[in-house]
């Protein structure tokens, strides 16, 4: 599938940016993408995105990034959101769409974990009543960068068939779903831990979160939104109707979830 091969698979986090500024034309394209998007994860959650130039690095440093160190970049994207149920999944979903749009536009990006959302908002001048949901550093990759792609969970490891822990019959389930599931397996996540799995059935897939003490609550929910976007953006290319995620519980079958595995969402196929 073109979108998977050419965009999703090509996206890698960048921690070494060139000094080159991101032009207004590209920022405009990103904003247009954000304004136009019709594939919201959840309706009725207001969001607001803003791009900042690299001069805000000092303001962001300590409040975002692994070990309180914000990656230096020529631009930052901050997603602000109303603080409603599933707002982090929603922010992760829409910011992932924008991250992949950046890839399409020849830009590179790196998500920055938010260590103190209130402090980030304060440092950036309290733009809105909404909360800071996520921060993404972006710009052009330094051509001299020696960063290598990191290893991702395999499709086998990611997926179960019908019930948690059950082997999947690839001939029965995969076919046109394969690239969309590979896109989930290629998703970025906090520390690349990928603490989730997908249960594949003939009529739906279910995303579940697995036990992981390292990933903070906020990043766990952002991870889910990212994985959900990656699935949809590839799956929609092979289907007449774009599949939609639902957070409603699964009541018509037993997913066989162990106590430490949490149901996240289902997506009818």
Ligand X SMILES: Cc1cc2nc3c(=O)[nH]c(=O)nc-3n(C[C@H](O)[C@H](O)[C@H](O)COP(=O)(O)O)c2cc1C
- The residue ranges that bind ligand X (CB under 6 A) are 12-13, 15, 65-66, 71, 110-113, 150, 188-192, 219, 222-223, 226
- φ and ψ at residue 59, rounded to 5 degrees: -70, -35
CB of 6 to ligand X, least distance (A): 16
As a whole number of Å, the end-to-end CA separation of the chain is 18
CB of 56 to ligand X, least distance (A): 16
Nearest residue (CB) to ligand X, 32 versus 150:
150
- Beta bridge partners, 75, equal 53, 138
Nearest residue (CB) to ligand X, 162 versus 187:
187
SS3 label, residue 132? strand
Q: Quick one: how many helices (H) and strands (E) in the chain?
A: 9, 9
Nearest residue (CB) to ligand X, 173 versus 190:
190
CB of 112 to ligand X, least distance (A): 4
CB of 223 to ligand X, least distance (A): 5
3-state helix, strand, coil in the chain (%, to 5): 35, 20, 40
**Residue with nearest beta carbon to ligand X:** 188
With contact defined as beta carbons under 8 Å apart, do 223 and 195 qualify? yes
Nearest residue (CB) to ligand X, 10 versus 29:
10
């Amino acid at each position: 599938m073109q979108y998977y091969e050419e965009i999703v698979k090509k996206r890698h986090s960048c921690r070494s940016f060139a000094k080159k500024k991101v032009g207004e034309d590209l920022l405009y394209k990103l904003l247009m993408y954000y304004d136009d998007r019709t594939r919201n994860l959840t309706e009725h959650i207001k969001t607001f995105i803003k791009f900042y130039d690299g001069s805000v690095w000092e303001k962001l440093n300590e409040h975002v990034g692994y070990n309180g160190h914000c990656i230096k970049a020529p631009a930052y994207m901050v997603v602000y959101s109303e603080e409603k149920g599933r707002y982090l999944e929603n922010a992760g979903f829409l910011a992932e769409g924008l991250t992949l749009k950046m890839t399409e536009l020849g830009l590179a990006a790196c998500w920055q974990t938010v260590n103190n959302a209130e402090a980030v908002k304060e440092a950036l001048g309290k733009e809105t009543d909404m909360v800071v949901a996520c921060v993404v550093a972006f710009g052009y990759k330094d051509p001299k960068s020696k960063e290598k792609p990191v290893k991702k969970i395999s499709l086998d490891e990611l997926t179960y068939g019908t019930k948690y822990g059950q082997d999947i019959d690839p001939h029965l389930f995969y076919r046109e779903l394969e690239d969309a599931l590979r896109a989930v397996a290629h998703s970025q996540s906090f520390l690349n831990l990928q603490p989730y799995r997908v249960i594949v059935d003939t009529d739906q897939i279910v995303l579940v979160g697995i036990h992981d003490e390292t990933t903070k609550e906020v990043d766990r929910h952002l991870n889910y939104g990212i994985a959900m976007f990656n699935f949809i953006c590839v799956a929609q290319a092979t289907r007449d109707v774009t599949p939609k995620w639902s957070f409603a519980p699964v009541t018509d079958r037993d997913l066989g979830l162990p106590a430490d595995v949490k149901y996240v969402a289902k997506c009818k196929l």
